[in-house]
């Protein structure tokens, strides 16, 4: 269940983020503090960093970059799970690491696409992440209400962190699927 903020919910600011490394990561190094559309701000930050990183990581193999993204996903499970527990809100809107990793994964598959294709990818990803059609909504709701028992009951923060991250991976999948269809139809050139 997604807990609502209570009187004991901490004041979320940069000082609060700096108290624990997982908070800083989950909030996208401060992007999640935006009062206006933190998920979109986090995705824009991810895009900017990726544009720089494509030059810094130019000599890295695709496997190296994929391993880095996978490690980022695992860090996101850990950081979002712990931050959600700290807040008492499993999927706080300020936790944007899920958007960051998901959009980096999209860019990993479409680079060196031109800026128009990247913009289309951005718009599609934000649509799928916000609207949460079909299976994305189902998975998101499942992890927000799931009360783990048995073996998984020992790992509630990890399970909740996975729930935060997984719906954005589904949004990534649908974004790449639509981009692939557009490419096959000749509407874009990836």
Instruction: Name the band, by pLDDT with cuts 50, 70 and 90, for residue 141.
Output: confident
Tens digit of each residue's pLDDT (9 = 90 or more) over 14-33: 999 999 999 999 999 999 99
Across all residues in the chain, what is the average pLDDT?
90
- As a whole-number percent, the residues of the chain with pLDDT over 90 amount to 76
Indicate the domain borders of the chain: 14-184
Q: How many residues does the chain have?
A: 190
Has residue 7 got a pLDDT over 60? no
Neighbours of 41 (CB within 10 A): 20
pLDDT at 5: 45
Q: What is the pTM of this model?
A: 0.90
pLDDT at 1: 40
* C-alpha R_g of the chain: 17
Whose tokens are 């712990």? That residue is: 82
Q: Average of pLDDT values for 73-98?
A: 94
Torsion, CA 102, CA 104, CA 110, CA 112, rounded to 10: 170
From the list 139, 136, 120, the residue with the least C-alpha distance to 179 is 120
Q: Average of pLDDT values for 125-134?
A: 96
């Amino acid at each position: 269940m997604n807990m609502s903020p209570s009187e004991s919910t901490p004041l979320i600011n940069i000082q609060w983020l700096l108290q624990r490394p997982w908070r800083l990561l989950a909030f996208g190094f401060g992007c999640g503090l935006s009062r206006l559309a933190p998920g979109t701000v986090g995705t824009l930050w991810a895009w900017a960093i990726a544009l720089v990183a494509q030059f810094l990581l130019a000599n890295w193999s695709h496997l190296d970059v994929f391993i880095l993204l996978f490690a980022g996903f695992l860090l996101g499970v850990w950081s979002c799970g712990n931050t959600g527990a700290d807040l008492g809100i499993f999927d706080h809107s300020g936790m944007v690491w899920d958007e960051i990793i998901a959009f980096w994964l999209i860019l990993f598959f479409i680079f060196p696409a031109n800026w128009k294709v990247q913009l289309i990818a951005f718009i599609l990803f934000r649509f799928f992440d916000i609207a949460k059609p079909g299976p994305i909504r189902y998975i998101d709701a499942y992890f927000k209400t799931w009360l783990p028992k048995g073996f998984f009951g020992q790992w509630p923060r990890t399970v909740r962190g996975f729930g935060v991250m997984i719906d954005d991976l589904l949004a990534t999948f649908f974004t790449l699927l639509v981009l692939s269809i557009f490419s096959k139809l000749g509407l874009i050139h990836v």
